[in-house]
């Protein structure tokens, strides 16, 4: 991710506890320590964390149009499904289970090597788009049909996650309604990207 606010490129570490960053001068790769504030966490947080303890996770930094920095944790799990061509066979598919979002606490913009992140369920009138390319934010009010406080995702499957209700809506294929067939998550791994949007 490129941060316009900090004029730097960011990539999360594999454990999600650091952001590696490179400033535009491309002189040296540096590291930013992410500190996760556990004050004022909702009571449901630990239960939700337990529910995704067996899931795989990817971390995605994203900057809002107003310069807010978010770290989105994307949890997925393997689901066994019957093969659509052979009812005797089954396959494992990766499906999205949950997202958790952390917002950077307002701090000295000159402090590049440490950021305090706060769990949030409210990103306001913003949609986050996640895929295999750089994540980005769009004001929901700027485009008819977009839902605020939601994450639109594409990858092994397509869908939208509502942070307010904590519900994940996965888009499914329409397969024939006959024995041995079932709905399967719509996925297109050949092009798991959202088109880039140029701010107006």
Domain ranges of the chain: 2-170
d(CA 146, CA 194): 14
| Most confident stretch, 20-24, 111-115, 164-168, 172-176 | 164-168
- Counting other chains too, the contacts that 19-24 makes at CB distance below 8 Å and 24 or more residues apart are 19/61, 19/71, 19/115, 21/112
Residue 50 DSSP SS3:
helix
Contact in structure between 2 and 9 (CB atoms under 8 Å): yes
* Per-residue confidence band for 197, with pLDDT thresholds at 50, 70 and 90: low
Residue 158 confidence (pLDDT) above 50 = yes
The DSSP symbol for 104 reads E
pTM of the shown model? 0.82
Residue 192 confidence (pLDDT) above 70 = no
């Amino acid at each position: 991710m490129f941060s316009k606010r900090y004029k730097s490129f960011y990539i999360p570490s594999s454990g999600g506890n650091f952001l590696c960053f490179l400033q535009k001068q491309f002189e040296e790769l540096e590291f930013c320590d992410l500190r996760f504030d556990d004050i004022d966490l909702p009571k449901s947080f630990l239960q939700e964390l337990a529910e995704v303890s067996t899931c795989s996770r990817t971390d995605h930094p994203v900057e809002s149009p107003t310069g807010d920095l978010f770290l989105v944790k994307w949890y997925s799990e393997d689901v066994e499904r019957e093969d659509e061509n052979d009812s005797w066979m089954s396959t494992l598919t990766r499906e999205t289970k949950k997202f958790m979002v952390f917002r950077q606490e307002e701090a000295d913009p000159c402090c590049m090597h440490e950021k305090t992140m706060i769990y949030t369920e409210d990103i306001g009138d913003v949609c986050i788009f996640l895929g295999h390319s750089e994540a980005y934010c769009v004001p929901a009010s700027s485009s008819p049909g977009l839902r605020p406080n939601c994450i639109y995702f594409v990858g092994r499957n397509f869908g939208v996650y509502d942070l307010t209700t904590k519900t994940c809506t996965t888009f499914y294929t329409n397969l024939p309604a006959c024995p041995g067939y079932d709905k399967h998550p719509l996925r297109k791994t050949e092009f798991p990207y959202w088109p880039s949007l140029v701010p107006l």
